[in-house]
Amino acid sequence: MKKLLYIYFLIITIQNTEAQIKYLDSLYAVDKVQTKVYTEKDDEKLIIDLYTPSNADKNRPLIIFMHGGGFSGGSPQNPQEVKFAKVAAAKGYIVGLISYRLTRKDKSFGCDYDASGKIETFQLAAEDFMDAVKFMKHHAEEFNIDPDIIIVGGSSAGAEAVLNAAYNPALMFDDTEKYSDISFSAVISLAGAIVDARYLNNAQAVPGIFFHGTDDNLVPYASAPHHYCEANEPGYLMLDGSQSIVDKLHKLEASYLFYTYKDARHEISGIPFKELPQVFEFLNSVVFKKEKIQTKIYK
């Protein structure tokens, strides 16, 4: 009888294991974080903290995430983002949380700061982000990553840098050839925006996952001035937020998953843990199965 029970429970265990799906379910332990310097600029070492699944297959997909903080604060050790990195690594992804130059530290980034300076801030952060991606791609064999599956994301200021790098490269980089070997499989944006959605074309129409509050008081939900500056103020700069980006992706027949939070403000820049199952479902369908999905969800 005991032998029969043992066999029964063994079969159930095997069936349950087989029912779990890589990149959707938590299948792996997560190794101790590795910290690498991806570049050094202005006498500052810029780092990437790597969260790696234990005993996972080689050629693992990579997620690189960029923290928020108004280009003046924040770090890759933000507890929410560390938690997200561990969740994703347990599903089989390698996750890199990066630092970048905080060029507005102890300085204004509001309506009194010149619009041209804001553009330069985006450009420098986008450059740091792309240099981190380039570092990981060039060390793909060392870190056992698939250089052709790179998913990128960011929160608030980090999302602005990532989105502008992905969707507005001609506006961000004097020499776009420097990053011509890099392509993205998907973008994740938490309350982000770009300089001009009109420049987004088929070549840059990367599938996107977007979270944004309709009453975001810092980064526009649709198209509006950054920080809602008045036209006569130095910091007046029109930006295209999630709604405008998704409208353009829809016209380009690209995939997207767009969460709109009615009346919510900039708190939507936090990691949406309740929605992560849907995020990983989207990635599984669009990145790995090559399906087309265009979904809008209103909260």
Total domains, the chain: 1
Q: What pLDDT is stored for residue 12 in this prediction?
A: 46
pLDDT over 80 at 183, yes or no: yes
Distance CA(90)–CA(80), nearest Å, equals 16
pLDDT over 60 at 3, yes or no: no
Cα–Cα–Cα angle for 59, 65, 68, rounded to 5 degrees? 175
Residues ≥6 apart with Cβ < 8 Å to 233:
111, 112
Structure tokens at 145: 């990553």
Looking at the chain, how many residues does it have?
A: 299
If phi over 0 gives left and psi between -120 and 50 gives alpha, with beta otherwise, what is residue 227?
Answer: left
Structure tokens at 253: 């027949």
**Running DSSP on this structure, what letter comes out for residue 52?**
-
The bridge status of strand 44-51 relative to strand 94-98 is: antiparallel
Average pLDDT of every residue of the chain: 93
Q: What pLDDT is stored for residue 294 in this prediction?
A: 98
pLDDT over 60 at 165, yes or no: yes
Mean pLDDT score, 91-115? 96
Q: What pLDDT is stored for residue 10 in this prediction?
A: 44
Whole domain around residue 13: which residue ranges?
Answer: 2-298
- Top pLDDT among 242 and 57 is at 242
* Torsion angles phi and psi, residue 71, rounded to 5: 60, 20
Question: Using one digit for the tens of pLDDT, what is the confidence trace for 14-35?
Answer: 444 446 789 999 999 999 999 9
Query: Which pairs from 169-174 meet CB under 8 Å and 24+ separation?
Result: 169/204, 170/199, 171/119, 171/195, 171/196, 171/199, 172/122, 172/123, 172/126, 172/127, 173/123, 173/126, 173/127, 173/130
CATH number, domain of 112, equals: 3.40.50.1820
> What is the percentage of the chain residues whose pLDDT exceeds 70?
93
Q: What pLDDT is stored for residue 17 in this prediction?
A: 45
SS3 148: strand
